[in-house]
């Protein structure tokens, strides 16, 4: 994941339409339901692709101890600035999730906000799932989400988006390659420096459209015993037009 170096400074403002409190509520509900035994006070969650901590902080408010991991130093710098309002139950580490060490185990592992979509080849997916299996305690859960193929191909696809805000304007140009199931995204961002001046920044991202069956098979091959999938944050299975799919994965019944 090479992006987010320029995007970090404006990421939270551009994502202000996302209800992270609702996300954390859903994650909390899943942990309460499927974690046996359940004890929030002692629960330590390892969160990959944590970004600026938009999921980390509301989960910490709910009582969970959080260790957030992200490759982007710029995103983590923003997270650290926000961390001053929190106690010792949250920390951030700069690291690539594919090479993260497995010498410590955690109660649960989380990877939100399309982190798995950035793993564009099967070898990386296999390695990541095998790593997560080692990182989770025997009764632990692995929770992650993906943007669906429907979203990446039909909604983002070969489309261009743009927005002009008071202090930020952006142009988001996408190209979907069906044979590889990959979407390439190029963002051009203009941030207002003063009354008449804008600073131009560019970001390039690549995501892979993974199928539920493919990911389920790789998770089972990594050793996980069960996989549940949901339509975004709803307590129902995904359908053909689901834009986000949430995975709940366990090591043991």
61 located within any domain? yes
Place of tokens 């339901």: 33
Answer yes or no: do 187 and 220 share one domain: no
Question: Edge-to-edge, what's the strand order for the sheet holding 244-250?
Answer: 90-94, 65-70, 44-48, 106-111, 136-147, 244-250, 226-231
Q: Is residue 36 included in any domain, yes or no? A: yes
183-195, pLDDT tens digit by residue? 999 999 999 987 7
Q: What is the mean pLDDT of residues 25-41?
A: 84
Q: Are residues 58 and 76 in the same domain?
A: yes
Query: Residue 38's domain spans which residues?
Result: 8-147+210-250
- Number of domains forming the structure of the chain: 2
Rounded CA gap, 243 and 147, in Å? 6
Shared domain for 164 and 228, answered yes or no, is no
Distance CA 18, CA 54 (A): 9
- Over residues 127-155, mean pLDDT: 97
Q: What is the structure's pLDDT at 85?
A: 75
Q: Is the pLDDT of residue 252 over 70?
A: yes
- Residue 84 domain-assigned? yes
Pairing type for strands 197-208 and 182-194 reads: antiparallel
pLDDT for 39 beyond 70: no
Residue 75 domain-assigned? yes
Query: Could you report the per-residue pLDDT of 220-233, keeping only the tens digit for each?
Result: 999 999 999 999 99
* pLDDT reading at 1 higher than 70: no
* Same domain? 140 vs 157: no
Q: Judge whether residue 143 has pLDDT over 60.
A: yes
Mean pLDDT across the chain: 93
Highest mean pLDDT among 30-39, 78-87, 108-117: 108-117
Q: Is the pLDDT of residue 209 over 60?
A: yes
Q: What is the mean pLDDT of residues 119-144?
A: 96
Domain co-membership, 122 together with 236: yes
Helix ranges (DSSP H) in 111-176: 122-135, 149
Inside any domain, residue 218:
yes
In a domain, 1, yes or no: no
Residues 93 and 126 in one domain: yes
Q: 42-84, pLDDT tens digit by residue? A: 799 999 999 999 999 999 999 999 999 999 999 999 999 998 8
Domain holding 104: CATH number?
Answer: 3.40.50.150
Q: Give yes or no: residues 167 and 69 share one domain.
A: no
* Average pLDDT of the segment spanning 156-166: 95
For residue 3, being part of any structural domain is answered with no
203 and 99 inside one domain: no
Are 162 and 241 part of one and the same domain? Answer: no
**Looking at the domain assignment, is residue 130 inside a domain?**
yes
Shared domain for 224 and 204, answered yes or no, is no
CATH of residue 179: 2.20.25.110
* Boundary of a domain, candidates 175, 193, 208: 208
Query: Does 163 lie in the same domain as 111?
Result: no
Q: What are φ and ψ of residue 156, in 5° steps?
A: -75, -60
* Same-domain pairing of 225 and 186: no
- Report pTM: 0.95
């Amino acid at each position: 994941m090479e992006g987010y170096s320029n995007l970090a400074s404006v990421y939270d403002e551009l994502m202000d339409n996302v209800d992270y409190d609702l996300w954390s509520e859903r994650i909390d509900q899943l942990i309460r339901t499927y974690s046996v035994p359940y004890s929030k006070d002692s629960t330590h969650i390892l969160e990959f692709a944590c970004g600026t901590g938009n999921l980390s902080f509301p989960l910490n408010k709910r009582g969970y101890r959080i260790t957030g991991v992200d490759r982007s130093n710029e995103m983590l710098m923003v997270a650290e600035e926000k961390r001053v309002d929190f106690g010792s139950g949250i920390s951030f580490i700069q690291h690539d999730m594919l090479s993260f060490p497995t010498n410590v185990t955690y109660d649960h592992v989380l990877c939100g906000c399309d982190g798995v979509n950035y793993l564009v080849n099967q070898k990386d997916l296999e390695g990541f799932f095998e790593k997560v299996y080692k990182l989770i305690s025997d009764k632990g859960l692995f929770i992650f989400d993906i943007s669906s193929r429907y979203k990446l191909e039909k909604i983002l696809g070969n489309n261009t988006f743009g927005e002009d805000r008071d202090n930020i304007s952006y142009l988001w140009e996408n190209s979907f390659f069906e044979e590889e199931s990959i979407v390439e995204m190029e963002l051009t961002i203009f941030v207002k420096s003063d009354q008449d001046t804008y600073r131009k920044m560019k970001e390039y991202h690549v995501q892979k459209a993974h199928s539920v069956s493919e990911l389920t098979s790789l998770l089972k091959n990594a050793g996980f015993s069960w996989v549940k999938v949901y339509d975004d944050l709803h307590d129902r299975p995904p359908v053909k037009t689901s834009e986000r799919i949430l995975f709940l994965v366990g090591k043991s019944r």
